[in-house]
């Protein structure tokens, strides 16, 4: 990868890592499913009127919208509201890399090798440590739901893999249309019309700025650049840069949200990232 593309990869990791701080701040003003509904509404509109529908089957657009919009971000926002700290959320959700392999194994009949089994064991040792030590930083529900969000992200990755080369911004915009209905239903059911109306009415300009950043910065710029890099280079070259996401996430949460960093968080981070590195190295040498 040329140096400019490496810098772009670091830039994406910085956007995604610091985004956990913005999510936490946004949740001060907006309930989680309403927040996620607004994010994906703005990702879809007005772009779906400006960009033609990408040449992929409808089922891929629907699947990506539901997996990424509802499964990854809807659940992530909900769980960050009271069940897991931003720094830990940024770390644990990276296990999506491991789930991507397992799903590829099941769905595409890919073979699993011993280094990948070792990678799974090492990463999940880190998650087990968080489960044991978490206390207020991660409840059992928080940990379980963030793992479901990681599986959803992995499923979304496989949908993109199945699609091949598409106009990525058009794909993100059109698939976002299908993220909104399940998020809106959950918002209506769990948060209720009164809270939705009150939250939108009283939301500060910071809240709207954060929603806009979620849409433009995290979704369109972040995923747009990431998928551009994946189109230009082998996944094994691009994927390791995602390991910087929890580094930026935990650092930003520590600096801006004063999240504590006891020994067990460092050990859990080392275990999870070590597992991902083992997996990536085994993929590269295969």
What pLDDT score does 160 carry? Answer: 84
The number of domains in the chain is 1
Structural domain containing residue 223: 3-285
110: left (phi over 0), alpha (psi -120 to 50) or beta: beta
What pLDDT score does 276 carry? Answer: 77
The C-alpha atoms of residue 92 and residue 170 are separated, in whole angstroms, by: 29
What pLDDT score does 98 carry? Answer: 78
What pLDDT score does 41 carry? Answer: 96
What pLDDT score does 97 carry? Answer: 77
The C-alpha atoms of residue 177 and residue 7 are separated, in whole angstroms, by: 31
Q: Which residue in this structure is represented by tokens 């140096």?
A: 3
Q: Give Cβ neighbours of residue 114 (< 8 Å, ≥ 6 apart).
A: none
SS (H, E, C) the chain: CCHHHHHHHHHHHHHHHHHHHHHHHHCCCCCHHHHHHHHHHHHHCCHHHHCCCCCCCHHHHHHHHHHHHHHHHHHHHHHHCCCECHHHHHHHHHHHHHHHHHHHHHHCCCCCCHHHHHHHHHHHHHHHHHHHHCCCCECHHHHHHHHHHHHHHHHHHHHHHHHCCCCHHHHHHHHHHHHHHHHHHHHHHHHHHHHHHHHHHHCCHHHHHHHHHHHHHHHHHHHHHHHHHHHHCCHHHHHHHHHHHHHHHHHHHHHHCCCCCCHHHHHHHHHHHHHHHHHHHHHHHC
pLDDT (tens digit per residue) in 5-16? 989 998 999 999
Positions in the chain short of pLDDT 70: 110-112, 134-135, 234-236, 283-286
In this prediction the pTM is: 0.88
């Amino acid at each position: 990868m040329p140096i400019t593309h490496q810098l772009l990869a670091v830039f994406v990791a910085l956007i995604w890592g610091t985004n956990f701080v913005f999510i936490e701040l946004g949740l001060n003003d907006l309930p989680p499913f309403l927040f996620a509904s607004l994010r994906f509404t703005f990702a879809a509109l007005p772009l779906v009127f400006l960009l033609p529908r990408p040449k992929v089957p409808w089922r891929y657009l629907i699947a990506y919208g539901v997996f990424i919009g509802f499964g990854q971000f809807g659940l992530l926002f909900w769980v960050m509201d009271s069940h897991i700290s931003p720094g830990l959320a940024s770390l644990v959700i990276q296990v999506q890399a491991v789930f991507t392999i397992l799903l590829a194994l099941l769905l595409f009949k890919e073979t699993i090798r011993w280094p990948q089994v070792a990678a799974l064991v090492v990463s999940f040792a880190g998650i087990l440590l968080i489960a044991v030590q978490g206390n207020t930083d991660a409840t059992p529900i928080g940990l379980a739901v963030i793992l479901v969000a990681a599986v959803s992200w992995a499923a979304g990755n496989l949908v993109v893999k199945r699609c091949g080369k598409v106009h990525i911004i058009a794909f993100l915009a059109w698939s976002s249309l299908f993220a909104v209905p399940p998020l809106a239903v959950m918002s209506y059911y769990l948060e209720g019309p009164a809270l939705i109306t009150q939250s939108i009415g009283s939301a500060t300009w910071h809240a709207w700025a954060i929603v806009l950043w979620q849409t433009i910065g995290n979704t369109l710029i972040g995923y747009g650049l990431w998928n551009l890099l994946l189109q230009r280079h082998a996944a094994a070259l691009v994927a390791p840069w995602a390991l910087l996401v929890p580094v930026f996430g935990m650092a930003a949460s520590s600096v801006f949200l004063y999240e504590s960093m006891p020994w067990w968080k460092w050990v859990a981070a080392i275990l999870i990232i070590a597992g991902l590195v083992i997996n990536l190295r085994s993929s590269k040498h295969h």
